[in-house]
Structure 1
């Protein structure tokens, strides 16, 4: 290593002792504050004005984003279809992103181009400052305020105030408008699964025969409903509650059903909605027969009644009882044996 790559501290240095101890460094020279380099906006009033206008423009764009999020929230409501939910969510998210990013980008550009860039140092002192020190700090704040030129930039102050005042509306308005909505939690106790409803692949809707599944097969399942029901406003909500993960095990590996007699020839069906906070449980490990929730690593053993073997979940996944009809298609024998998803008030179990 060259001398330039291994600088030595100045001051008194205790040499290595015979016992191999390292040298002690008494002190380093204070490098001091580097020379202040003026920016273009510091020396050119026109450049400072350009930056001020640019920052104000970005704040105004942020305001437009906030207004756009409110328009998207009220004018483009989800219509119950996948496309409608996607469009509404995308417009709302883009508008809120423009609003928040506008504030952030403008603030960063303001700090880099117009705020004071001088470095100040202060010697360490006791926690109780003297009157002289407090007076000096107050003077430094006043100097910093003067250096920032805030008093000379009313347009900039107005634009940042407007952007910061408007942005909370993009969050507050949807929250306030949801007050008084549907708070009937009883609807979570049941899904559209019922006796005789056939199991279909998600999202194709193709029916599933027991003979189609080999040991180790995994299928994402939804109820087989009519085309008219698929186009209804309620379908998205009902589908979200009724999604199922279907797995075929070797019957010899099946220790027990969560719901006695609910499986068919080693084929078990469990809700995909984690009983912790409702994330989709869909990671299946074939050798251990474990289902893993990717959000918080709750793990369920589907060969043993879907009992929890790891993680924060407290209850097994609800099981859908299944059998086959006269044509060999898998059908539900009833709804889930308990409400799906995480705990909520008024839940009996």
Structure 2
């Protein structure tokens, strides 16, 4: 016979499990039944950044928005010290301090330098520009910069920025080597290629999976939502409400929802409006007896998608006898540049989207990440809106 206390415990546990399950179902139903609101409601306040460190190199400080182009305000330091204040700043957005100066470092003295320091705006406390000695051979300035006072959010941006500065110094510090002979100088060694890039470093910090506004900002710089959709969704789900409703959280949520929305039908004649090198539009009627059409979207300026287009050429000849035609469709901006690449590829069906029709299709199929392979029937029914090259080769 079971202990009464054990029965009570089991009953309580079952009740808790059922309650949790019901709550989860209610949340899921609410999420499915309610259209996501992407309206951004920015909070305004006062931003203050100070520098209390002597640095005769520092000559000018300009605050830029996250596009690194639009300036907000500027200040002229006195021996490196300044106080920058903005009364109507948008909180929880990334800004950049552009610092410019003239080096006093031995070996680079007199050379101009500039540095963009990321700042997550906060209106609750004063931020401080911190300067640290930086004697890397590839650095023009003798210091590197970070922001203090912004908590975990700013710390992530500081670490990311420091890695980029070190990468730049590493690249600038590498030298080409020459040997002097009877015929003059001969290069014997090129600069060594770095194993990292700005994009790979940014991805490393995103991969830390910190549910922060700063992480969402870094994701917005990368744009690889499709490739990391599951990880990004988990990151978003684990973030605070403030982070989710931030500018970058809402951008990420919108992109992920777009990825999850499957396109079932395309009006090929109206939505995929493209021309060949002679400006002739796609003759959709000529494909009506084919089994499938594989639409390969690419951009001649994008290395990975250009390489994928070359690899697809071999698969196209194998698919044609199976009743599947491959249409290469570029989303380039410049016709002349695409035309040159198209002639080099010598693809049987090679087209470029007309500029006025491009953006609507980009939005419909979320073509911001290339290459993209979409399998359709001649009537426009979408069979698969995201195929890999391996899946293409296995088509029957």
Using the size of structure 1 for normalisation, the TM-score is 0.25
Using the size of structure 2 for normalisation, the TM-score is 0.23
Q: Per chain length, whose mean CA-contact separation is higher, i.e. which structure has more relative contact order (CA < 8 Å, sep 6+)? A: 1
Larger CA Rg, structure 1 vs 2: 1
